[in-house]
Amino acid sequence: MNELSAATAQLAPEQITRVLFEGFAPAAVALFYCIGFAAIGAFLWGCYVQVRKYRRGQPVPDLLDGLAARFWQMVATVLTHRTVERRDPAAGRAHRLIFFGFALLFVGTSIITLQEDILDALFGIKFWYGDFYLWFSLVLDLAGVALIVGLVYMMVRRGWIRPPKLDYARPDRQPGDSDYDRSAYRREDWAFLWTLVIIGLTGFVLEAARLVWLQDRPGVWSTRAWAPVGAALAEAMRAGGLPAEAAGTLRAGLWWFHGLLALVFIALVPRTKVKHIFTAMGSLMFRDPLAAQRLPKLAEEATKAGAPVGYARITDLTWKHLLNLDACTKCGKCHEACPARAGGAPLSPRDLILSLREHSRRTLESNLVGGAGGASELDIHGGKPGQVSNETLWSCRTCMACVEICPVAVEHVPIIVQMRRKLVEGGEMDPLLQKTLQTIHKSGNSFGESKRKRGGWTKALAFPVKDARKEPVDVLWFVGDYASFDPRNQKVTQTFARLLHAAGVDFGILYDAESNAGNDVRRVGEEGLYEHLAESNVAALGAAGFQRIVTTDPHSFNTIRNEYPQFGGRYRIDHYTSFLVELVAQGRLQLSGRLAYRTTYHDPCHLGRFNKEFDAPRDLLRRTGCELIEMPRSRDNSFCCGAGGGRIWIPDPVGKEKPAQIRIREAAQIEGLELFVVACPKDLTMFEDAVKTTGNEGKIVVKELLELLEECAVRDRAPQEAVVH
Stretch that binds ligand SF4, among 181-189, 236-244, 403-411, 703-711 (CB under 6 A): 403-411
Stretch that binds ligand SF4, among 265-273, 324-332, 432-440, 683-691 (CB under 6 A): 324-332
The torsion angle over the Cα atoms of residues 471, 475, 476 and 478, rounded to 10 degrees, is -150
Q: Which of 334, 419, 641, 677 binds ligand SF4 (CB under 6 A)?
A: 334
Q: Closer CB to ligand SF4, residue 134 or residue 396?
A: 396
Residue 90 Cβ, how far from ligand SF4 at the closest point, in Å?
16
Instruction: Report if residue 332 touches ligand SF4, rule: CB under 6 A.
Output: yes
Q: Which of 150, 270, 310, 339 binds ligand SF4 (CB under 6 A)?
A: 339
Alpha helices (runs of H) in 365-429, residue ranges in sequence order: 390-394, 401-405, 412-425
Q: Collapsing DSSP states into helix, strand and coil, what is residue 24?
A: coil
Pairing of strands 475-477, 548-551: parallel
Binder to ligand SF4 among 400, 433, 500, 509 (CB under 6 A)? 400
Judged by DSSP in three states, 318 sits in strand
Supply the DSSP string of 31-73, one letter for each residue: HHHHHHHHHHHHHHHHHHHHHHHHHTSB--TTTTTTHHHHHHH
First to last CA, the chain: 83
Q: What DSSP designation does 562 have?
A: I
Contact indicator for 650, 446 with CB cutoff of 8 Å: no
* Stretch 520-549 residues interacting with ligand SF4 (CB under 6 A): none
Residue with Cβ nearer ligand SF4 (224 or 522):
522
Q: Please tell me the distance from the alpha carbon of residue 498 to that of residue 712, in angstroms, as a whole number.
A: 13
Closest CB to ligand SF4 among residues 413, 475 = 413
Closer Cβ to ligand SF4, 313 or 330, answer by number: 330
Compute the least distance from the CB of residue 336 to ligand SF4, in Å: 9
Q: Smallest distance, Å, CB 415 to ligand SF4?
A: 10
When binding is defined by CB under 6 A, the residue of 262, 291, 410, 584 that contacts ligand SF4 is 410
| DSSP state at residue 86 | T
Residue with Cβ nearer ligand SF4 (211 or 331): 331
User: Considering the rule CB under 6 A, would residue 284 count as an interface residue with ligand SF4?
Assistant: no
DSSP state of 165: G
Which CB atom, from 395 or from 490, has the smaller least distance to ligand SF4? 395
Query: Which residue number, 280 or 723, has a Cβ lying nearer to ligand SF4?
Result: 280
Q: How many CB atoms lie within 10 A of CB 150?
A: 25
Q: How far is Cα of residue 31 from the mean position of the Cα atoms in its chain?
A: 45
Beta strands 627-628 and 573-575, pairing class: unpaired
Among 337, 517, 541, 706, binds ligand SF4 (CB under 6 A): 337
Minimum CB separation of residue 404 from ligand SF4 in Å reads 9
Handedness of CA 424, 426, 430, 434 (dihedral sign): positive
| Position among 212, 328, 378, 465 found at the interface with ligand SF4 (CB under 6 A) | 328
Contacts of ligand SF4 in 65-94 (CB under 6 A): none
d(CA 347, CA 281) in angstroms, rounded, equals 27
Total interface residues for ligand SF4 by CB under 6 A: 29
Q: Which uninterrupted H or E stretch holds 509?
A: strand 507-509
Quote the least distance from Cβ 390 to ligand SF4, whole Å. 15
3-state helix, strand, coil in the chain (%, to 5): 60, 5, 35
Q: What's the closest the beta carbon of residue 306 comes to ligand SF4, in angstroms?
A: 30
Strand order across the 475-477 sheet: 466-467, 507-509, 475-477, 548-551, 573-575
CB of 375 vs ligand SF4, minimal distance in Å: 28
Q: Which stretch binds ligand SF4 (CB under 6 A): 109-117, 360-368, 402-410, 459-467?
A: 402-410
271: Cβ–Cβ under 8 A, 6 or more apart, which residues? 46
Taking the least distance from each CB to ligand SF4, the nearer of 398 and 445 is 398
Q: How far is CA 171 from the centre of its chain?
A: 20
* Binding track, positions 548-567, relative to ligand SF4; x by CB under 6 A: --------------------
Q: Which stretch binds ligand SF4 (CB under 6 A): 229-237, 407-415, 547-555, 714-722?
A: 407-415
In DSSP terms, 313 is beta-bridged to 379
609: contact with ligand SF4 by CB under 6 A: no
Query: How far, in Å, CA of 341 to CA of 395, rounded?
Result: 9
* Chain residues 632-691 in contact with ligand SF4, contact rule CB under 6 A: none
Q: Tell which one of 154, 212, 356, 406 touches ligand SF4 (CB under 6 A).
A: 406
Which of 346, 348, 339 is CA-nearest to residue 166? 348
Query: In degrees to the nearest 10, what's the CA dihedral of 465, 468, 471, 474?
Result: 90
Cβ closest to ligand SF4, residue 219 vs residue 414: 414
User: In terms of CB distance, is 258 or 335 closer to ligand SF4?
Assistant: 335
Binding mask 412-451 for ligand SF4 (x = CB under 6 A): xx--------------------------------------
Could you say which of 401, 437, 476, 667 contacts ligand SF4 (CB under 6 A)? 401
Which residues within the stretch 349-388 sit at the binding site for ligand SF4 (CB under 6 A)?
A: 349-350, 353
Q: Which of 134, 291, 396, 607 binds ligand SF4 (CB under 6 A)?
A: 396
CA-CA-CA-CA torsion for 548, 710, 510, 575, nearest 10 degrees?
40
Q: Which of 318, 329, 515, 600 binds ligand SF4 (CB under 6 A)?
A: 329
Q: Cα–Cα distance between 264 and 158 in angstroms, integer? A: 24
The CB-of-13 to ligand SF4 minimum distance in angstroms stands at: 47
Question: At its nearest, how many Å lie between ligand SF4 and the CB of residue 600?
Answer: 21
Q: Answer yes or no: are the C-beta atoms of 170 and 229 closer than 8 Å.
A: no
Residues lying near ligand SF4 in the complex (CB under 6 A) are found at 328-334, 337-340, 347, 349-350, 353, 396-402, 405-408, 410, 412-413
